[in-house]
Chain A
Amino acid sequence: MSVSAEALPAAKDFKSDAKPVWCPGCGDYSVLTSLTRAFAQLALRPENVAVVSGIGCSSRLPAYTNCYGFHGVHGRALAVATGLKVARPDLTVVAAGGDGDGYSIGGNHFLHACRRNVDLTYVVMDNHVYGMTKGQASPTTEPDWDNALAPGGTGVRPFNPLVIALASGANFVARAFSGDVVGTADIIAKAIASPGFSFVEVLSPCITFRPEQRGWKESVRPSPVATTDDPARAARRIMTDDGFNIGVLYHGNRKPYQPPIGQKRKTLSEIEQGFAL
């Protein structure tokens, strides 16, 4: 889609012609729309946006955008995104993927991305399941969810990504719901605009392996409390909510990590002097 130099791109200019292979009814379609709306709302241009992902249904997203995309290996999106942003601070870098990719194999990178606080946005489409590999438990799955790999359920407590993000130092923590396209677009836009590491966990139903998640739209609600900049308060709230409070739950003031790049202080021959006798 060509965009004239004068006119700002509209949301649909951020979508590519590729037809998503997601199951009809999948929440990820809405998240794609929300993401492109957020880009348009922020007056970004596709050539200045990079979308980085790992492996899984949600990780197919970059090719469905018209931005610079990177579809990497399982769980490493944040590492790739970090390298890209630190080397190219002028770009808007968004990492995207699912709960399996992000919290399981990607768990370690998630922790350290929050800690490092590079100016990135991480959008996780959480459907409490490994969809692409046909329905195994993910780190956010209920312990008693029966599946072929863990008959009767894993018996293991689910992971709370928002609390982990807070404890690790993420500067912006939000929860969204795919069914509210405009609300999610607003949250993502705020996340991108916020300096530092912004984490948006989007509840995005998998209607193939978790058809009961179609009921999520009845369960979600706007968060009853205002955004806080106190991480401990935010953590307490999140640890006591039922997982369905939608909104920006924490917005801090940490300075983003961005080592200076491009500043030359010495010539090579000056450096060489260090070896001379």
Chain B
Amino acid sequence: MSRASRGGGRKPPAAPEVGTVEDLLSRAHAMEVEAAERYDEFAAQMELHSNLEVAALFRKLAGIERKHADSLASDLRARGLPVSAAAPLGTRGKEGLETDSGESLHYLMTPYHALDIALQNERRAVAFFTALVEGAGPAELRELAKEFAREETEHVELLIQWLARTPKPAKDWAYDPDEPRMPE
């Protein structure tokens, strides 16, 4: 694993612990659930900081992820597999792929910024599934991974189009004439 490529505690996308189709379905479902929760958390931060426009957008993104999760949950049930509401422990969820930890949020961020975060998330998901396709797993697993990669690539396309329709942030988007406060 090259450390030199990009500095930071980053590793290229790995595919640990996904050995079977069942593993992949569970993981994909967990990823969607976690993404939905993450967007909801971001929305809550925006609401508390009075950025209602971006809060609504994050809620929308959460809703989309939840729909994906529900569809995967149906697949799991159809195969008689357990549907866990939370990411399986000891595995790396989307965070393992450096899902945005929230550190690029800003209380004055614009919808463009939010969509960009979503785009990066989807790109990372594509990379995750692509690594599985190119990996050494069973054929069935790689086929399913290919399908997921294709779906996520569609999401990437949709987000790119959405971004194109969204006004870019003004140069002074982060400008706040008021100084920070001392709440405690």
Contacts and interface: CB of A to CB of B under 8 A. Distances in A.
Given A24-B45, A217-B103, A133 B3 contact: no
A124 to B, nearest CB: 18
B101 A209 contact: no
Contact of A208 (B41, B48, B96, B180): B180
Contacts of A11: 86-87, 89
A23 B103 CA distance: 10
Given A24-B49, A30-B101, A40 B106 contact: no
Q: State the main secondary structure of chain A at its contact with B.
A: loop
Interface residues of A, number: 44
Given A11-B86, A24-B46, A179-B101, A246 B106 contact: no
Given A25-B103, A218-B8, A55 B109 contact: no
B181 to A, nearest CB: 7
Interface in B11-29: none
Given A10-B86, A55-B184, A219 B103 contact: no
Contacts of A219: 7-8
A193 interface: no
A220 B8 contact: yes
Contacts of B184: 55-56, 132-133
Contacts of A56: 184
Given A132-B182, A218-B8, A178 B92 contact: no
B103 A178 contact: yes
Interface string B106-142: 1101000000000000000000000000000000000
B56 to A, nearest CB: 15
B3 A222 contact: yes
10 contacts: A8-B89, A11-B86, A23-B49, A26-B103, A134-B180, A177-B9, A182-B96, A209-B180, A221-B8, A246-B9
Interface of A: 8, 10-13, 19-27, 29-30, 33, 40-41, 55-56, 132-135, 177-183, 205, 207-209, 214, 217-222, 246
